[in-house]
Amino acid sequence: RKEVEQDPGPFNVPEGATVAFNCTYSNSASQSFFWYRQDCRKEPKLLMSVYSSGNEDGRFTAQLNRASQYISLLIRDSKLSDSATYLCVVNGAGGSYIPTFGRGTSLIVHP
């Protein structure tokens, strides 16, 4: 079983839609969680950290469910510029402090 799993998509949604991605992790001792955004042929950039109580940044909401071992990212009112790959990152997923990356979920927002 992979340590961090994501649905690769693509998720194809119209502008203005709400879309949600999940990411599951296998190690219950995992310590910290992040969502990154990666544009085509560019480096990953931190979108937001994920806190136990859930957190919001504008149109983006991240949540952590430790009991079921997944994190989620919700994007409201999707924009064309949200089209990208979203990477889930878990520190400690492999039993060490090394970050483990999911393979990413592709989002395409169309007019």
Partner 1 sequence: DVKVTQSSRYLVKRTGEKVFLECVQDMDHENMFWYRQDPGLGLRLIYFSYDVKMKEKGDIPEGYSVSREKKERFSLILESASTNQTSMYLCATFPESRNQPQHFGDGTRLSIL
- Interface contacts to partner 1, rule CB under 8 A: 31-32, 34, 36, 41-46, 49, 87, 89, 91, 97-99, 101-104
Residue with tokens 């983006």, as numbered in its chain: 60
DSSP state of 53: T
CB of 107 to partner 1, least distance (A): 16
Question: Measured from the CB atom, is 1 or 111 closer to partner 1?
Answer: 1
What are residue 33's DSSP bridge partners? 50, 90
Of the chain, the end-to-end C-alpha distance in Å amounts to 37
Say whether 80 sits in a helix, a strand or coil: helix
The backbone torsions φ and ψ at residue 80, rounded to the nearest 5 degrees and listed phi first, read -55, -35
Question: Measured from the CB atom, is 14 or 28 closer to partner 1?
Answer: 28
CB of 88 to partner 1, least distance (A): 11
Question: Measured from the CB atom, is 76 or 103 closer to partner 1?
Answer: 103
